[in-house]
Amino acid sequence: MAGMFDNTVVLQVQQANDIVEVIGEHVSLKQKGREMVGLCPFHADHRPSMNVNNVKQIFKCFACGAGGDVFKFVQMRENLTFPQVIERLAERAGIRLERRQKAKRQKVEGQEAQGEPAEDVDPNRLAKANAWAAKHFRKNLEDPDKGKYVRDYIAQRQMNAESVEKWQIGLAADSPDDLARAAIAKKASLKLLQQAGLLVGQNRDKFVNRLMFTITDVTGRVIGFGGRTLDGNGAKYMNSPTTVLFDKSNSLYGLEQARHEIVSTGTAVVAEGYTDVIMAHQFGCTNVVATLGTSFTAGHARILRRYARKVVLVFDSDVAGVEAANRALDVCLAQRIDIKIASVPEGKDPCDFILAAGKERFEQIIDEAVDVFWFKWERLKDKFNGDATLAGKKAAVEEYLQTIATGLQAGNVPALDCGLRVNQISRIIGLDSRQINAELNKRVRRAQRSAGYRQGEQEVAGIDYGRGAFAAAQREVLEVLLNEPGLYETVRQEITAEVFDVPILRQIAAILFEMLSIDSETPLRQVLARTESVELGKCLMELAHAGQEKGNFESRLTGALDAIERHQAQKKRSRIEAQEDKSEYLRELYDNTGKLNVHNLGMV
């Protein structure tokens, strides 16, 4: 593919990555008949509209049209090129692509040595650099001398050895270039470590004297790190910078470890810190994840919506924790997530609370989590019953109105509930309910416009299949062959791919005809493996599905070939007639001697 992989390697990687397993790492799938279904991650899906076929190894969303094989899913999901997807899935399956990797590495390192700009950062190589660094930090922690004081600290925090191993906890040594020197000794690429954000400036370590938390994505790739200071220097916590792999606004700590329990229970519990997650899992509460030192974002909500039906936010009970939870509630509400909030009592964070009170008490807090509107209403009452200023009261009312508007737009507030809440506000602030409803409607319309724009950005673009009977006949041929490839022998006697004049159909015909000429029983997944473009993959899926729905393959193929033959015949006649008209015109323009007849120039 693209001059990098032969077809055998591509098919080997495809066959080694079961599509249900791969998609299941991103989306919660459930059995429905012979297929699996789940929420489509490529548009704002609110009911399962994506089907995954284990037998055919394909997926299709019947709402936005996204579809293809395992390659196309990962291409779209992780925004990778086709060669990057091959490498990504080869690594997942344990298939070594040594020659290709070696050639690419030599090319990049050669460019670096000559001072030339290297090619775009490969996410897989970046992940490998991060994984190497994680092992180095683990080695530091296990060092008898270097890591002793940190092991004592970990023991004091009551993290057991199993948790340290499971979460790949490590130590960034108290040296400005410990990691850099280790990389030089191992002949590792310093440039790659810089691109991963592990080295800064003149090959100085970014993380110095810090307890290191390894951050992975849902598939287990090491995408970044969080470091807690051990001597009080600098920020208490520091994360890796944003890279092609890591964006803290779209990453959740512990998702890899928590995903299966979240899918099983339908509930995701979101805490604030690394140790909150680690201790919850250590005590057996394995559906807990955390944000990475940032506010809860729409990106976090979209990720969780793929796995969970309900999200419970567990934040510290101090002022900062309550405000963080308050902001997160509206984010989840806008994403149509069933959202509740749980507060840890006695001013403790979840880590300290679960250590003091145990698993059952922590689970009780989760079970007693309150509804978003109850939480917001209590905040509104507190503002009015306290010593808040007029401006504070107005802000509280606007905040509550915005919450209701967001819930209405997302379909999370039944009409009856909305009426009751409007009456509540009317009583507390003394405004007529009609005025309140008018303000709500204005906010809902604004939210709808915003949501519609965002959804439009995410949808897969439409495909131009051409117009007219000839374009329809071309499409019909492909629909038939994608379902009954054995009929290609009939097609090859009549037409070639050059007959197709609709660009995207011609591309598919060229690939399909070539493959069927070699093996007339080529399945759809193998054809998909030959198409690098996401748009081509979507087109193939639409054609295959349409053909399957229509059935009656032989007679439809006969009709389509007849239509193509008639079109070709008409095209030929038109060319002949045009040539004859041209000849007649020339005869009139020139006289019998072959000289230009000036009296006939007016015909031009």
Q: Is pLDDT of 599 > 80?
A: no
The pLDDT assigned to 456 comes to 36
Q: Which of the listed ranges 322-326, 372-376, 529-533 does the model predict with the highest average pLDDT? A: 529-533
pLDDT range class, residue 452, cuts 50, 70, 90: very low
pLDDT at 1 over 90: no
24 and 84 assigned to the same domain:
yes
In single-letter form, the type of residue at position 352 comes to D
Domain membership of residue 380 (yes or no) is: no
- The per-residue b/e assignment along 209-239, b for 16 or more CB within 10 angstroms, e otherwise, is bbbbbbbbbbbebbbbbbbbbbeeeeeebbb
Whether 361 and 408 share a structural domain:
no
- Looking at the structure of the chain, the number of domains it has is 5
pLDDT above 80 (res 409): no
- What is residue 590's predicted lDDT score, i.e. its pLDDT? 57
Residue range(s) defining the domain that contains residue 564: 461-604
CB-based contact 233:153 (threshold 8 Å): no
pLDDT of residue 397: 77
* pLDDT at residue number 260: 85
> Of the residues 188, 222, 246, which one is the last residue of a structural domain?
246
- Judge whether 417 and 425 are in contact, CB under 8 Å: no
Confidence of residue 469 (pLDDT cuts 50, 70, 90): confident
Q: Do 476 and 425 reside in the same domain of the chain?
A: no
**Stretch 428-452: mean pLDDT:** 69
Q: Is residue 582 part of a domain?
A: yes
85 lies in some domain: yes
Cβ(452)–Cβ(513) below 8 Å: no
Question: What is the average per-residue pLDDT within 415-439?
Answer: 70
Copy the structure tokens of residue 239. 């994360």
Which pLDDT belongs to residue 93?
85
Give the span between the Cα atoms of 217 and 206, in whole angstroms.
21
Tell me: pLDDT of 119 over 70.
Answer: no
User: Quick check: is 360 in a domain?
Assistant: yes
Least confident of 1-10, 136-145, 167-176, 505-514: 1-10
- Residues 247-277 have pLDDT tens digits of 998 899 999 999 889 988 889 999 988 999 9
Q: Are residues 506 and 520 in the same domain?
A: yes
CA 255 to chain centre: 14
90 shares a domain with 170: no
CATH code: domain of residue 181: 3.90.980.10
Q: What is the CATH number of the domain that holds 344?
A: 3.40.1360.10
The predicted structure's pLDDT at residue 320? 67
- State the pLDDT at residue 380: 75
533 and 576 in a single domain? The answer is yes
Question: 419 or 24: which carries more pLDDT confidence?
Answer: 24
Indicate whether 598 and 478 sit together in one domain.
yes
110 in any annotated domain: no
Any domain includes 130: yes
Confidence of residue 461 (pLDDT cuts 50, 70, 90): very low
Better pLDDT: 573 or 207:
207
**pLDDT reported for residue 2:** 45
Share of the chain above pLDDT 70, in %: 82
Q: What is the rounded average pLDDT for all residues in the chain?
A: 83
Domain CATH number, residue 65: 3.90.580.10
One domain, residues 284 and 334: yes
- Whether the per-residue pLDDT at 592 is higher than 90: the answer is no
Residue 222 lies in a domain: yes
Are 278 and 417 part of one and the same domain?
A: no
Residue 355: helix, strand or coil by DSSP?
A: helix
CATH code for the domain in which residue 543 is found: 1.10.860
Domain boundary among 437, 460, 483: 460
- Asked whether residue 377 is assigned to any structural domain, the reply reads no
Report the pLDDT value the prediction gives residue 116, as an integer from 0 to 100. 39
- pLDDT of 602: 46
Kindly state whether residues 138 and 162 are assigned to the same domain: yes
Q: Are 531 and 584 in a shared domain?
A: yes
Pick the residue with more confidence: 109 or 445? 445
Mind giving me the DSSP string for 131-152? Answer: HHHHHHHHHHHH-TTTTHHHHH
**430 — phi, psi (to 5°)?**
80, 20
What pLDDT does 103 receive? 44
Whether residue 349 sits in one domain with residue 438: no
For the ranges 133-137, 143-147, 447-451, the lowest mean pLDDT is seen at 447-451
User: Residue 583: its pLDDT value, please?
Assistant: 63
Among the residue ranges 95-99, 121-125, 460-464, the one predicted with the least confidence is 460-464
| Least trusted range by pLDDT, from 8-22, 70-84, 449-463, 556-570 | 449-463
Mean pLDDT of the region 348-375 = 90
pTM above 0.95, yes or no: no
- β-strand pairing of 35-38 with 30-32: antiparallel
Tell me: the pLDDT tens digits for 196-246? 999 998 899 999 999 999 999 888 889 999 999 999 888 999 999 999 889
Residue 186 confidence class, pLDDT cut points 50, 70, 90? very high
460 pLDDT more than 50: no
Q: Among 220, 246, 272, give the residue marking a domain's end.
A: 246
Residue 324 half-sphere exposure, CB side, CA atoms within 13 Å? 22
